[in-house]
Amino acid sequence: MKKTFIFALIVPLFLLTACGGSSTESDPNTSPQTTQPEGAAPQSVGAISFDIYAEKVLTPESVGVKKGLPVADGTAVVLADGSVRIYFFAQEKGILSATSSGDLKTWTIGEPVTNSFWGQPRILKLDDETLRLYFVTGDGIKSAFSKDGVNFTEEEGLRLAKKDLGFEPGALSVIKLGGTYLGYFSELEKPGAPISKNGYYVAKSTDSLNWEFVGSVSGANSNGSLKGNGKHPYAMINDLGGVTLYGQGDRTETASGVTAIVSTDGLNFTKEYLAFSIPGGIPGDPEIFKTSDGTYYMIYGGFEESLGGYLNLAKANSNVPMDSISSEFQQPGQGQQGQPGQPGDMSNLPECKPGEPPTADGKPCRNAGK
Domains of the chain are 50-323 (2.115.10.20)
Q: What local confidence, expressed as pLDDT, does residue 21 receive? A: 34
Amino acid at 117: F
pLDDT along the chain (370 residues), means of 10: 39 33 38 44 81 97 94 96 96 94 94 87 96 95 96 96 96 96 94 88 98 96 91 96 95 88 95 93 95 96 94 96 64 40 35 42 40
19: left (phi over 0), alpha (psi -120 to 50) or beta: left
* pLDDT for res 364: 45
What distance lies between CA 56 and its chain's CA centroid? 18
Task: Tell me, yes or no, if the pTM score tops 0.75.
Answer: yes
Helix (H) or strand (E) holding 212: strand 212-216
Closest CA to 219 of 255, 238, 180, 247: 247
pLDDT score, position 115: 75
pLDDT of residue 43: 66
Q: Residue 214: what pLDDT?
A: 96
**For residue 102, what pLDDT is reported?**
87
Distance CA 187, CA 71 (A): 20
* Nearest one of 115, 123, 101 to 64, comparing CA atoms: 115
